[in-house]
Chain A
Amino acid sequence: MQLRRQPLSAPRPGDTRPAAQRLAGPLLLLLALQGAGASGGPEDSGWLQDAEPSSRLLSQAARAALHFFNFRAASPSALQVLENVLDGRAWVNQKKEYKFDLVFTTEFYSTEEDEKRLGQCSAQVFFRNEKPRPAVNVTCSQLIKKERRQEEDYHLYKLMKQLKSPLNAVSIPDSHGYIAPSLRPVWDLAFLGSSYVMWQKTTPFLQYYMSQISSVKQWKTNDDAIDFDYTVLLHEFSTQEIIPCRIHLVWYPSKPLKVKYHCQERQTPEEASGTEDGSAMALTELSNF
């Protein structure tokens, strides 16, 4: 599979500002920056390449890209996690915004001990100062065939349909890291929803991991779709804080994920007060670029 790596500084032939408004804001900005980066003229925001980007910073950007990738794929059976960053370049501008050009390997989230197949992705990640952040352009090699992925998703969906509400679980996993096999699909779906939230919240300084589902408010499957309302505990690495986020998602196999969230931040000096909300309803304009 051909991977197209597009260095942000390389000029692209025929790069005009797109007139069509089908493309979302982030993409517009990203393309504009690519053009500006190439010209290096006085009007650009002064991107300086970081000669030695730390591996932590590159991993963080790669994870943000993967969160977005997982969210967009909307496939709880094919979630991927970062394995290793193979190559990465970073730029900073005067406004302390960062952009990255990355190549990294991935593996399946639900991997068996022996099953260690690696995928590969290339991504450009742009951390802006305004929300939503960050903007991501990512392509990954196909770790699993589309048909097989859809089959697995549908299989998960059928398992989920069999689960009765209320789900008999307080914490998933429990304190000992155990997830009952019947609840495994719930965990995968929760991770999918959390991916959206973690993508939104990642900055060059903050990175998130999903620790535990602390409660399930609602699990409905009476219509076709799975309607899942839960609270997840996200672990932020640099502050070590645990942040509870209430997430409400609606999922149907092969359809885009609909998600709303509300996180309870502890007030920190740099950030404004308390809570953070976000949502994604229709996704068509954010489809593969």
Chain B
Amino acid sequence: MKPLLGTFYLLGMLVPGWLGYDRSLTQQRQEGVDKVASPWRILETYSYNRYHPMGEIYQWMSEIREKYTEVVTQHLLGMTYESRPMYYLKISQPSNNPKKIIWMDCGIHAREWIAPAFCQWFVKEILQNYKDNQRIRRLLKNLDFYVLPVLNIDGYIYTWTSDRLWRKSRSSHNNGTCFGTDLNRNFDASWCSIGATTDCESLTFCGTGPVSEPETKAVSSFIESKKENIACFLTMHSYGQLILVPYGYTKNKSNNHEELIQVGQKAANALKAKHGTNYRVGSSADILYASSGSSRDWARDIGIPFSYTFELRDNGTYGFVLPEAQIQATCEETMEAVLSVLDDVYEKYWYTNSARKAKSTALVLSLLMAFMSLL
């Protein structure tokens, strides 16, 4: 009997989830196969409805990579000021199809905990459903997802250990008397021209120069190197319930502003349909406030067509300290919004090609028939 069970366990490892998460089997599997494969310690009981400290998020990332190895790879983007590794996950269905990249980062501002929670939720949803969910399968045919669950790792850790409402990074300035740069004022987009300051004590300190911070540099260099293939740049924040399009540094609009608004509004509608939450859509300068050096503006300016900032729940009732009880609903509705944007991005690149072919074929056929009828 035992050898047979052993075979089943091994088979169960090859087909993830085949044996399900029955408690007793799991326990025996862990005891039995410790040496053969990594025990999925954190992933099996990982709650996506709780906030997680950075250590757990690092562990979660490696286990996700191990469990979904056929589509997930983990990559080092760079190092933070305090020398911590910045990892992103790449979700890609191997194929010969040409791919476009969707970039999503969370937690550029340390206190906005719901954002990293959403990045983790997003990854989980894609990976748990990509095999049976037609919508996600279609997206993965031609889109690769690059997800950075926590951008400002030093700051995030600081909100767990010292100050829950910390916002900036943890770089040291003025001989150690002043800490942190607002990473979302540090990108090379009209740097420090408006809505930011060179006063290092301010919460909107733009840094000592554009892209002066290692975290900004890591993201910047990477995005720059892949920019021809990036179709969509999403950066997740809280709070305010907004979908923001460029720009913050000027009231001028991007050349595809109408389209961005349309796609954004469709996403807001999809979001609202889930739990009734109201999101507003508009340019940052119009509906939020003027700000320069943001990653979203910079991404648009280097040519990435779809660039959005999401400000998640809520509207100020709890603000940054959003109760864990709201994580699920927030993530579910945000997922609908993001998928809506991705559908539109997908259709822009892949549907139009086939639609164009269909239209031109129809045109030729009808011309041919008209010609024939004249004969």
The residues of A with any CB-CB pair to B shorter than 8 Å are 54-56, 81-84, 109, 113, 116, 171, 173, 175-179, 209-212, 233, 235, 237-242, 266
| CB interface residues, B 156-178, toward A, < 8 Å | 159-160, 164-165, 167
| CB interface residues, B 319-341, toward A, < 8 Å | 319-326, 329
Bound-complex Cα distance A211 to B320 (A): 7
How far does the Cβ of B161 sit from chain A's closest Cβ, in whole Å? 11
Q: Does A56 contact B276, Cβ atoms closer than 8 Å?
A: no
Q: Does A209 contact B203, Cβ atoms closer than 8 Å?
A: no
How far does the Cβ of A279 sit from chain B's closest Cβ, in whole Å? 25
Q: Which residues of B contact A177 (CB under 8 A)?
A: 318, 321-326
Prevailing SS type, chain B contact patch? loop
Prevailing SS type, chain A contact patch? loop
Query: Which B-chain residue is minimally distant from A175 (CB atoms)?
Result: B164
Q: Does B323 contact A178, Cβ atoms closer than 8 Å?
A: yes
Bound-complex Cα distance A54 to B325 (A): 33
Q: Which residues of A contact B324 (CB under 8 A)?
A: 176-178
Number of B residues near A (Cβ < 8 Å) is 35
Q: Does A176 contact B323, Cβ atoms closer than 8 Å?
A: yes
Q: A54-B286, A173-B321 are in contact. List 12 more A-B contacts (CB 8 A).
A: A54-B287, A56-B286, A113-B329, A116-B276, A176-B324, A211-B165, A211-B320, A212-B165, A212-B321, A235-B165, A239-B202, A266-B201
Query: Which B-chain residue is minimally distant from A171 (CB atoms)?
Result: B164
How far does the Cβ of B247 sit from chain A's closest Cβ, in whole Å? 15
Partner of A176, one of B51, B204, B288, B317: B51
Which 9 residue pairs spanning A and B have beta carbons closest together? A177-B323, A209-B316, A240-B203, A177-B321, A175-B164, A242-B165, A238-B289, A176-B324, A177-B322
Q: Which residues of B contact A175 (CB under 8 A)?
A: 51, 159-160, 164, 321
Q: Does A56 contact B320, Cβ atoms closer than 8 Å?
A: no
Asked whether B280 is an interface residue with its Cβ less than 8 Å from the other chain, the reply is yes
Q: Does B289 contact A56, Cβ atoms closer than 8 Å?
A: yes
Supposing A81-B315, A116-B276, A171-B164 touch, asked if A237 and B289 sit within 8 A by C-beta, the answer is yes
Q: Does B322 contact A240, Cβ atoms closer than 8 Å?
A: no
Among A116, A171, A178, A235, chain B packs the most CB atoms within 10 A around the CB of A235
Supposing A113-B329, A171-B164, A266-B201 touch, asked if A235 and B320 sit within 8 A by C-beta, the answer is yes
Q: Which residues of A contact B278 (CB under 8 A)?
A: 83-84
Q: Which residues of A contact B286 (CB under 8 A)?
A: 54-56
| CB interface residues, B 254-280, toward A, < 8 Å | 275-276, 278, 280
Query: Which B-chain residue is minimally distant from A238 (CB atoms)?
Result: B289
Query: Which A-chain residue is minimally distant from B163 (CB atoms)?
Result: A242
